[in-house]
Structure 1
Amino acid sequence: MAEDESGARLCLICRSKSDSAHFGVDSCRACAAFFRRTVSLNKTYICRQSNERCDVSKDAKFACRRCRYKRCLEIGMHPKNVHSKFHTRAKDESVSSDDEKPSKKFTRKNSDSETVVSDPGPSRHPLISPLLHAAPATTPLLKQLSDQYRILLAVRRSCEILLRTQSQSAESRISNDLINHDRVFPATIGHLGRSVRGTLQAYIDFAVSCFPEMETFDEHERWILLKTFKTCMFIFEGVYRVKKFMPGNNKVVMITSMTYLDVDNLDHYVSDAGDIHDKEHIKKLCRELTVQSMLLWLGPVLDKAEITEVEAIAIIGLLFWPNYLVKATKRVIDVSYQYQQRIFVELQTYYRDVLCLDDYSSRVAHITSILLCVQGIMQRLKEDMEIYRLLNVFDSNDLVYNVVQA
């Protein structure tokens, strides 16, 4: 036990005041919450200085999470002692679920020389979190978003599998039917267009199930919300899923639920563009969007934030109700504001009751930064696509163009 000059007990990790023993040792609530969160979410950190000797005291300007967790272990905290309510219940409910099990990833070349990234399980449902079962009575909207997002992902993937199967020959279909379901593939512009068209109804069903007010809006109001949401999800999911399931790959973004865009293989992306598209300009647009915007802007923001799956679900809800809908009517703006408030209130409950955080202002700041980053990227995408439409790279009747230009 450590004490200061006045005899007050000190946290053995950061040397701030300790209110009691947590996980068997004297520690402050902040360090205890950090340890619980790290173990429960199975997080892995990298040392800031690569020597695992960083200062983790309360006076350290930039705390290294790797060294902080190492210090927790050294002073006697044991991962097996983390028995929070949400951890126990989540384990009971998801022990047999493939969606929550870690998956082994590998790459290979298939018969037509495409790179195939094996991503069974998590790629299908990347944002579904059992942590929401911790306080279902106080986080009903986040729980509903999580459940409906699971359905949305399943429908999107089924639709894409069907589209991919239809584009294959009978012989290839017979040999690949069983393995294509659990893998992601290089994207093509043709598949992107068919996917946008084929999954539109799934987004409508998701919106109506989560937000009953959608049924009271007219067609114009619903279309504005849905187009903005699809574009925002394209940006957010594209980077988030790569960060989560293909860590370290800084030249790839997910472009649909089961296809990815590789900056170094853009020739494949435009391989089915057809004669009416300017392939070189399309490749330039993709390179600028993925490298200069999504990967260089949103990528570092997500790295710093290290959002939990519950926070990712909240971000999805907030992306549906943004505060920058310039063409929205007053009632849409009013409903948007109400849902933003509800989501942030439920997030506060999650921080307080599940993660046991006394100060969660930094978490809210991270989420705000992510939302602003997505907004900035979307605005740039809209401007770039309008320029390329004027250059006849895109047809004004192109569905992808019309979805982006909300």
Structure 2
Amino acid sequence: FRSVHDVEQPLLERLRVQYRSICHTRLMAESYARGGAPHPLRLNIDDPPTYPADYQSMQTGTQILLGSLLEFGNTIFPEFQSLHEREKWDIITEFFYRFRTFEGSHRANVLFPDHPHRFLPNFTAFLGPEVPRYTIPPNADLQGAMQCITSSKMRRADAEAERRILARFNPDHEEFLALLALMFWSIDRLTVRAEVNALAEKYTNQVMRELHAYYRDVRKLDDYATRLGELLMLVPIFDVKEKCKEHYEILRLLNIFDDNTFIYKLQRE
């Protein structure tokens, strides 16, 4: 997660620093929440220990990630701190679904090149064919649960396809960071004040200017329109909020989730 380029790009630099910071926060918090954390020398964000995900680790990881993303927004975009609490939460929860799917696919490509079926919903926990995705409670509809998990719009094949799409584009770290900023401010579906929309436009324009400068001055590309277009097309591919909401609602009806399941409560807000 380190840049190999020395170029003055204020927004991308803030993104670079803060992304490493939230990676460290998530690594430490998830490791100690899990219990039996490795020696501190093994807690390296560039080569972290990883484990099969379970129900509890995914719930805990979601809470840790949401707290980290709030700090991410507050630190990188100074005006974000002064928004109304409801506006901040709406932006963060909208971003959460994109971030987790995009980053989890990208990091899986980096950490598990020989395991194309794996996905990282948390910083240290992975899902894959060898990992049961949910603990089925005794009162759950077992047959319905299995059908839901295999036929859902969030089925494993989608995660594999997202990894393939990212592998083909193969974003470098600057492109990865730029995509995070673009996803953060993709708030078209939110009902917000004009000032918030203006803020989204401001930072979208800034990241686009820095991307143009990066392609032109760092990568020395004379014609980067196609590359930039492919990058922008990645944003809607990872817009999975509605798929998640539908999936979690079905899991609630099947008694796999209950009303107190954190990620289920999140999608109902």
Using structure 1 for the length normalisation, give the TM-score. Answer: 0.59
1:246 Cα shift? Answer: 1.3
- Whether the 8 Å CA contact 2:215–2:221 is kept in 1: the answer is yes
Corresponding residue of 2:97: 231
Deviation per CA, 1:245-297: give whole Å up to 9, x if none: 2114221101100010012331xx434x655666666665555425232222x
Identify if the C-alpha distance between structure 1 residues 141 and 388 changes in structure 2 by more than 3 Å, giving closer, same or farther. Answer: same
Q: CA deviation at 1:308?
A: 1.0
- Per the alignment, do residues 370 and 404 of structure 1 end up closer, same or farther by CA in structure 2, a change over 3 Å counting? farther
Aligned to 2:263: 400
Which secondary structure state, in structure 1, belongs to the residue aligned with residue 119 of structure 2? strand
Say yes or no: does 1:254 pair with 2:124.
no
Tell me the distance in 1 between the aligned counterparts of 2:15 and 2:127.
27
Does the 8 Å CA contact 1:221/1:328 hold for their aligned counterparts?
A: yes
Alignment of 1:293-372 (within 5 A): 293-296=158-161, 298-372=162-236
The answer (yes or no) to whether the contact 1:232–1:378 under 8 Å persists in 2 is yes
Query: How high is the sequence identity, in percent, across the aligned residues?
Result: 23
Match of 2:3 among 129, 141, 166: 129
Deviation of 1:403 (Å): 3.2
Q: Greater helix percent: which structure? A: 2
After TM superposition, which residue ranges in structure 1, 4 or more long, deviate above 6 angstroms?
A: none
1:164 CA drift (Å):
1.0
| Amino acid in structure 1 at the alignment position of 2:31 | I
Flag the 1:254–1:284 CA change in 2: closer, same or farther, 3 A. Answer: farther
Structure-2 change in CA distance of 1:188 and 1:389 (3 Å): same
Q: Matched residues in 2 for 1:190 and 1:405: separation?
A: 20
5+ residue gaps, structure 1:
1-126, 166-172
Q: Contact 1:242 / 1:254 at 8 angstroms: preserved in 2?
A: yes
**Taking structure 1 as reference, are residues 261 and 157 closer, same or farther at Cα in structure 2, changes over 3 Å only?**
same
Distance in 1, matches of 2:16 and 2:41, equals 27
TM-score, normalised relative to structure 2: 0.87
1:401: Cα distance to partner? 2.0
Bigger share in strand: 1
What aligned pairs does 1:45-64 form with structure 2 within 5 A after superposition?
none
* Counterpart AA for 1:402: K
Residue 355 of structure 1 and its aligned partner are, at CA, apart by: 0.1
Inter-CA distance 153–345: structure 2 relative to 1 (3 Å threshold): same
Unmatched tracts of structure 2, length 5 or more: none
